Chains A and B, each alone.
Chain A
Amino acid sequence: MMQNISIISKTIWCNDEVLELTNQRVIYWKAKKSLILSDLHIGKSAHFQKSGIPIPKNVLTRDLERLKQLILHFKAENLIIVGDLFHAEYNSDLDEFKTWRIQFSNLSIQLIKGNHDRFSNSIYEQFQIEVFKKDLVLNCLKFVHDFVTPSTDYFTISGHTHPGVFIKGKGKQHIKLPCFQVTNTQLILPAFSLFTGLNTRNAPKNCKNYCFTNDGIFEI
């Protein structure tokens, strides 16, 4: 069993909406009782194993346990996942996800399809997931997987890039941390799964980075 995670959040305003960024790679949107997250990549460890690359299985177990604690902590009723929920083919990791899903039968899940989400609709139905091919608009927020063009009408929330920030210190010290990238018109979520790399290039112009560790979240 995993220890309780510490959840620390920081509130920001996006247009007229209040969003709570957390150090656990999700946003809590109180108005909709929703958790917003991206890039779970369920099935990645099993996919690697199938190809002969041994990745510890409990990577997924811990990701799901963390998500469970977040749902219980915020008493969330809905998940908005902006893509890459699943990594590749149907494999044993998805069975584990199925078992996990049963304990939250009242939780609704909305998925905006990412480049990795390639299953037929019947599979998403099995998991009781409502699927959106391109985007989803709620109030003044627009959810997409990969941010392409800026929109003047909406504040865009996306994932896909696995953003990170490179922090340089004295004496050639440096550290890379995952982060939320926020501008006046958009927000990019960090990848939820811990089995993902970080992309420290291609940050949007004039963006603020909210990076975090196990016990804190701060602006760079």
Chain B
Amino acid sequence: MSNFNQTQGYQIIQNWMQEKGHEPFSFQSQTWERYQNNFSGMVVAPTGFGKTFSVFLAVVIDYLNHPDKYKKGLKLIWISPLRSLAKDLAKAMNDAVDEIGLDWAVEVRNGDTATKDRRRQERLMPDVLLTTPETLHLLFSQKKNARWFKNVTCIAVDEWHELLGSKRGVLTEIAISRIRNLSPKLRIWGISATIGNLEEAKEVLIPYDVKTTMIRAKEKKKIKITSLLPDQVEELSWAGHLGKQMSSKIIPIIYENTTTLIFTNTRNQSELWYQIIIDEEPDLIGQIAVHHGSIDKVQRNWIEEAISQGLLKAVVCTSSLDLGVDFKPVDCVIQIGSAKGIARFMQRAGRSGHSPFETSKMYAVPTHSLQLIEVAAVKEAVKQHEIEARQPYVLTYDILVQFLVTLAVGGGFKPEETYAFIKQIHAFHYLTKEEFDWCIHFITQGGNTLKSYEEFHKVVLEEDGFYRVKSRRIAMNHRMNIGVIVSEVILFVKFFSGGYIGMVEEYFISKLNKGDAFVLGGKVLEIQQIKDMTVLVKRSKKKKAITPSWMGGRLPLTSGLTHFLRLKLSDALTPNNRERELKFLYPLLKRQETNSHIPRHDEFLIEMIETKEGFHLFVYPFEGRLVHEIMASLIAYRISQIKKLTFTIAMNDYGFELLSDQEIPLTEENMNAIFSKENLIKDVTASINASEMASRKFRDIAVVAGLVIQTQPGKRKTNKSLQSSSGLLFRVLNDYEPSNLLLKQAYNEVFDYELEKVRLQAAFQRISKSKIILKKASNFTPLSFPLKVDSLRGTMSNEDLSKRIERIQKQALK
């Protein structure tokens, strides 16, 4: 260490920091030294402790010490998942560079960058480029792009934990390998928050034969979690109906703090809670805003700016504000409903009290009583530092196909060389030569059928041995489709008099007629006209309006959280003194224990209840909605092998319900066989419509691989004669070309991600070791009640629902 401390570069930085009254954290100086010694690696630190400067200043110090080793042009590429982060980061970096007295240019390039700036960058790249994985791939599709990357010495990937578990992670892995191929001495550095599989995360980012290191900050963020308790506990927990009575408890918290972020889980919920809060406290109008992914970008930027300046008391938001720039005034966070995961919960809590050593303050507001157990579980997990792992994607042929075409558009590629560097990427470690050849065949001939498609010339092999795209139109279409984020068909919402409000899905708007009112961005709007993928609206005076639902809102509980949930429930009747959630829930838990049973950690509870409606079977694996969906159809399938029955299925994050009009033949004798782990995957495959699920997965794959052309919101539908749905393509390929690798990928993704095969197997493994408890109850129990309510919700409108719930509740309590 001492030698490094003597270097000129280190001295300059040390002095610069001292002038500002700072001292480097030890993880920062450790990073700087390791970087200088040619390491690649990963920095793990909580937000607010200057992890950006750990890697950025490492490159600066190395440059100051060895300026002769650096050539003109791009030196550092900084990849971050969010566009909005880039602008502020660039400003911080530029300030640092100026104050240190370095003549570096730090610039941003992403979808928001103006054309003239892009052209300028293409003539002369800045020294530091802040960008996104997609924009990097777009650069690869430019002519003669190799010249930009020859002298890059470092790629830094910010918020790597966010990219890791998504297909954007694979885009990042590919980009790194491609640049490393052009600049072999490249150092690769990731910056991550704590996740359950840090070693694997590092391995995925840097699978190469280079020196690597992991640097963990010793500094810890303090988090204080408080749950807001309703006035009294309902012995039967209402599902999602605590809203109104909780709003009166939220208002004082908003007033007590400078700025509060209120997190909800869906965009629909955020609109609803915005209404609930301003109904409760009209004085807050003008000081409270709603922020989510479907609100117009300009308005979102305005809101973010207003938070930074402390102009807002509160913002109701979704995961849209999970990441992003630090908002200094935010000193309190409220989570409404379940955060569904430990990592997300901590991430959100961390949005408050941003500066080092400040405590993050988080209030948890349950939307039904049982969620209080979840809060207790999260607290326990945070205490034990148990955070979920993120599973990296592998063998994503769709992205490979897209990347090969990207290379073919950007000056061409030679297959041997490309195969060699693709093979090094973690995601394609197990890619065979045959599969690679299939991908080449797919983009040159169109597939693997015996008949070649004589009109298909997407990519052509030229005499010099390079594969290239010759058609300008194909190149243009491809550039527009680069990336892996696939959205529903989206329409812009715009005032008739001008001014954008946001976006809605075509699916939602297709159910409305002219004159109907809906809520967006906290405004009540009336549909005037729909034209060219744009909904024209005016303000409405109507009191009643529909809140749009956006697809994909319902996340399941993570396995990390469900584990702690089972533990908490197990000893829920004997809480320790500090667990006020469990103490509060005592009457409800007591009722569950009396009327049925509370499953201990080595038990597995099944309840059978007979009502006027029919015969109910309630099962509580506590594994999250997705796993329950699969389990429910599996168990229904196995029971129907004994006796032919029709079931109605309902599920939530705690369990599932099978409802039948006839008695369900489940007994103490056969229950072990029905919940057996034997023949699991075989029975699952038989019980679900794998083909239909694969068809859904294929939607994204088809877009990424360039089979379906996406229409941009606000644009007129172009290429009308080329419109086809992925469902149709899926059917056609299934019928005519079943060996297609993209189809295979769709089926694989169903089993690995949709079915969560590993998690399902682990669940049955656990059940096989547990004692199965079968209880017959005469009426709904506290655990079964939310499930019952959820299944009612599907069929009825909200008004009738609360009355109906009340009635059932009364009957059950008799």
State the A residues within 8 Å of B (CB). 46-59, 62, 87-88, 91-92, 116, 170-172, 194-197, 201
Contacts and interface: CB of A to CB of B under 8 A. Distances in A.
B625 to A, nearest CB: 14
Contacts of B725: 197
A60 to B, nearest CB: 11
Contact of B736 (A46, A56, A91, A171): A56
Contact of A53 (B471, B648, B649, B722): B722
Looking at A54, A87, A195, the one whose CB has the most chain B CB atoms below 10 A away is A54
A18 to B, nearest CB: 33
Interface of B: 442, 445-447, 449, 451, 453-458, 471, 473-474, 477-478, 510, 646-649, 706-707, 709, 719, 721-722, 724-725, 727-729, 732-733, 735-737, 794
B198 to A, nearest CB: 39
B728 A196 contact: yes
Given A46-B455, A195-B732, A53 B707 contact: yes
Contact of A57 (B442, B453, B647): B453
A141 to B, nearest CB: 30
B646 A195 contact: no
Contacts of A54: 442, 445-447, 453, 456, 458, 707
A24 to B, nearest CB: 16
A58 B455 contact: no
Given A50-B457, A52-B474, A194-B735, 19 more contacts: A46-B455, A49-B446, A51-B722, A52-B456, A52-B457, A52-B477, A52-B706, A53-B707, A53-B722, A54-B446, A55-B453, A55-B729, A56-B736, A56-B737, A57-B453, A92-B454, A92-B455, A172-B794, A195-B732
A51 B453 contact: no
A88 B456 contact: no
B471 A52 contact: yes
Nearest to B632: A171
A170 B648 contact: yes
- Kindly list the 10 A-B residue pairs having the minimum CB-CB distance in the complex, ordered from nearest: A54-B446, A52-B458, A56-B736, A49-B456, A52-B474, A49-B455, A49-B453, A50-B455, A46-B455, A88-B721
Contacts of B454: 92
Given A195-B728, A197-B725, A197-B728, A51 B736 contact: no
A119 to B, nearest CB: 14
A197 B729 CA distance: 9
Looking at B725, B732, B733, the one whose CB has the most chain A CB atoms below 10 A away is B732
B280 to A, nearest CB: 36
B647 to A, nearest CB: 6
B590 to A, nearest CB: 34
Contacts of A194: 732, 735
20 contacts: A46-B453, A46-B455, A49-B455, A51-B473, A52-B458, A52-B474, A52-B477, A52-B478, A54-B442, A54-B446, A54-B447, A54-B456, A54-B458, A56-B732, A59-B732, A62-B736, A87-B721, A91-B455, A171-B648, A196-B728
B449 A48 contact: no
Contacts of A53: 706-707, 709, 722
B446 A51 contact: no
A47 B510 CA distance: 29
A170 B661 CA distance: 12
A48 B474 contact: no
A92 B721 CA distance: 17
Contacts of B647: 171
A201 B510 contact: yes
A197 B724 contact: yes
Given A56-B733, A92-B455, A48 B724 contact: yes
Looking at A46, A56, A58, A116, the one whose CB has the most chain B CB atoms below 10 A away is A56
